[in-house]
Amino acid sequence: MKFDRAAGQNPIDQLHVVGHPLDRIDGRFKTTGTAPYAYERHDVVPHQAYGYIIGSAVAKGRITRMDVARAKAAPGVLAIVTTLDMPALKNGPMNTAKLFGGPEITHYHQATAIVVAETFEQARAAAALIETEYDHDEGQFDLKQAQHAARPVQGANGSRADRVGDFERAFSASAMRLDETYTTPDQTHAMMEPHATLAAWEGEKLTLWTSNQMIAWTRRDIATALGLSKENVRVDSPYIGGGFGGKLFLRSDAVLAALGAKAAGRPVKVALTRPFIMNNTTHRSATIQHIRIGTDRDGRITAIAHESTSGNLPHGRPESAIDQTKLLYAGANRLTAMRLAVLDLPEGNAMRAPGEASGLMALEIAMDEMAERLRMDPVHFRILNDTQVDPEKPGRPFSQRHLVECLERGAEKFGWSHRKARPASVREGEWLIGMGVAAGFRNNLLTKSAARVRLDSQGIVTVETDMTDIGTGTYTILAQTAAEMMGVSIDQVRVVLGDSDFPVSAGSGGQWGANNSAAGVYAACVKLRESVAKKLGLPPAEAQFSGGNVHVGNRVFPLGQAAHEGELVAEDTIEYADVDKRYQQSTFASHFVEVGVNGFTGEVRIRRMLAVCSAGRILNPKTARNQVLGAMTMGSGAALMEELAVDTRRGFFVNHDLAGYEVPVHADIPHQDVIFLDEVDPLSSPMKAKGVGELGLCGVAAAIANAVYNATGVRIRDYPVTLDKHLAHLPRMS
């Protein structure tokens, strides 16, 4: 199905099932422990052995010798594969760091061997017996030091920066100016479920039961790495216990499980340990962001520049922290640019809302600082600088843009009018109280997605697609879509996900999953409806589907009757033309936060949070709310505690477990609320929906930082906002 114009009235608009806050259909499996996660696929293949992966003890250099004799002789050991046993495996297009093979070491904990044994404990014990010697090279691990040698990243027009108008001249002539630098640290995904894979071979055919967000990418890239045809690889990932972008790509658990299984002649399961996850897989790269804003005396932005520097391995990509600044606020004269420093740290790559999450941490503090210089309310300042067109391409309007409504609704609901503009002016006992606001922004990405739907004689509809559910409610949303389209209740729909034998979907990532995968199911159901009508001798254009029946005038047939001679099957793909090129498609939010800061200890406590989201039709308000609440919590961690500490001598992340890398817990977030604007976006898809999960994260950290400033009068521009950064500057407590 081609989507090349605004969606008109369609069966989804009935909203009999879609749009309702239904419970997750997979919830009972998760709460009873019967959901099959990757490491727990005990029933799919017999005689499973255990693999334990070893990582490099140096960050840069070469392995000169590996002695595995003692390890091979250890109890229970079935096979050992080392990186010296083969040349470097070929990377697919999504990987930067090498995954295995050859002596060269480019980052700490790069995989160097897998030990396969009858038990996990035997594999781990034998791994400790392997002796490895290195030629160690000096590396660069400090972004602040490396920033001066960072190279410009080519802009959209091929230059070193993207420009509109004459920023330097306009900034110099501005009545009010801001020129500040902000930093964000390296961060890790810290998902609950580790990277895990069970691999089994049958001849030259490989099956991976794994924890992965993007099935088709992983199938392609494991085939590339191992020199297999794609048809000889099956990837199965029906349940994922958290990903946040860390499981978008093929990682060493899958590669080494496959190599270990081949060497042992047995199925092999591998789960990465927490320190190995943090140093071997991917993370969000630290940034140094330089922001300049110029306004006229009335507060209208006349010049805005956002330049960001981040680091990565050679041939890696930057943390694109400037993305939202291209689109969020008006301003005739604009400059955005990125620089990339070569660092010998583990690979920097996608983490929830890559680019916008870190970029808004800086931009939305800068907007507050500018508002204060103008003696203007920060909500009003943002509203004043709203735009309904792409600021870099004024002839390109937004498909929907309700940022102003998000800000106004949020301010009213949160009681913003009670905020005191003068910092450190509200106290409750030993607590300093402050409110903060920030805008949220995340682009709506359109990508083709396919599905297959089946109808049996009992009227049961089965949906098959390689789409994954990473805790986002995908099972439920796709069931709602099929139920709405086929006129049945949700308990008459069966959804099967995550298998590469199924049609290729959008996958889970980038906030594109729900809208696109549901649109793929919609397209397949359109075909199935046509088949059903023809089987029943009805004109497809007139057939109505409801209550488990098919209606045309006074003629009524049970849906299942169409399949009484055999199952009906339909498959289709939603494919987008240039709608997203003609209209800028984005999602928007406002975030409001109230904090208390202890005037004696500097401890920060979040008291309440509110998000108001504009994201098209909300397919399931309950699962969408869950996503936004989780994202707000994740943003709280980014604001107040999350930071990978880099050992700048040895090149590794020191706090590489959940004891040292702190994340928020329930007690840290006492009250949260979410409001979804009632809107549809017919230019997005036939579902008229958009993504929302990452939007809930974008801007939260800055709202918290702004609230801390309002409470204390101490401006912190280097995340996380920890008490050591403001304790000495807090106002005197009487």
Amino acid at 305: A
Sign of CA dihedral 217, 326, 355, 377: negative
What is the spatial distance between Cα 83 and Cα 39, in angstroms, rounded to a whole number?
Answer: 24
Tell the burial category of 714 from Cβ atoms under 10 Å away from its Cβ (0-12, 13-18, 19+).
buried
Q: Which two tokens stand for residue 436?
A: 């903060």
Find all residues with CB under 8 Å of 134, minimum gap 6, and list them. Answer: 56, 57, 58, 61, 62, 63, 64, 105
**Parallel, antiparallel, or unpaired for β 2-3 and 568-576?**
parallel
The answer to whether the CB of 98 falls within 8 A of the CB of 280 is no
Tell the burial category of 621 from Cβ atoms under 10 Å away from its Cβ (0-12, 13-18, 19+).
middle
Query: Which 3 state secondary structure label does DSSP give 701?
Result: helix
Residue 153, Cα to own-chain centre: how many angstroms?
Answer: 23
How many Cα atoms occupy the beta-carbon half-sphere of 579 within 13 Å? 24
| Cβ count near 359 (within 10 Å) | 32
The answer to whether the CB of 451 falls within 8 A of the CB of 574 is no
Query: Which 3 state secondary structure label does DSSP give 362?
Result: helix
What is the spatial distance between Cα 269 and Cα 155, in angstroms, rounded to a whole number?
Answer: 43
| Cβ count near 162 (within 10 Å) | 17
Q: Which two tokens stand for residue 377?
A: 């309310």
Tell the burial category of 665 from Cβ atoms under 10 Å away from its Cβ (0-12, 13-18, 19+).
exposed
Given 364, 594, 643, 694, which residue is catalytic?
A: 694
The answer to whether the CB of 511 falls within 8 A of the CB of 693 is yes
| Cβ count near 496 (within 10 Å) | 18
What is the spatial distance between Cα 563 and Cα 514, in angstroms, rounded to a whole number?
Answer: 29
What is the spatial distance between Cα 349 and Cα 286, in angstroms, rounded to a whole number?
Answer: 11
The answer to whether the CB of 176 falls within 8 A of the CB of 294 is yes
Q: Distances in Å between the alpha carbon of 604 and those of 93, 242, 402, 572, 609?
A: 42, 27, 32, 51, 14
Cis before residue 397, ω within 30 degrees of 0?
no
567 catalytically annotated: no
Residue with tokens 């810290």: 190
First to last CA, the chain: 69
The answer to whether the CB of 711 falls within 8 A of the CB of 424 is yes
Element (H, E) at 419: none
- Which of 640, 615, 625 has the alpha carbon at shortest distance from 703? 640
Specify the DSSP class assigned to residue 37: -
Residue with tokens 């293949």: 45
The answer to whether the CB of 312 falls within 8 A of the CB of 369 is no
Q: Which two tokens stand for residue 242?
A: 């958290």
Q: Which two tokens stand for residue 316?
A: 């890696």
Listing from the earlier edge strand, what are the strands of the sheet with 61-67? 104-105, 61-67, 131-136
Q: Which two tokens stand for residue 387?
A: 């735009």
- Which of 428, 308, 408 has the alpha carbon at shortest distance from 711? 428
Cα-based angle 42, 48, 54 (whole degrees, multiple of 5): 115
What is the spatial distance between Cα 685 and Cα 400, in angstroms, rounded to a whole number?
Answer: 13
Q: Catalytic positions, please? A: 694
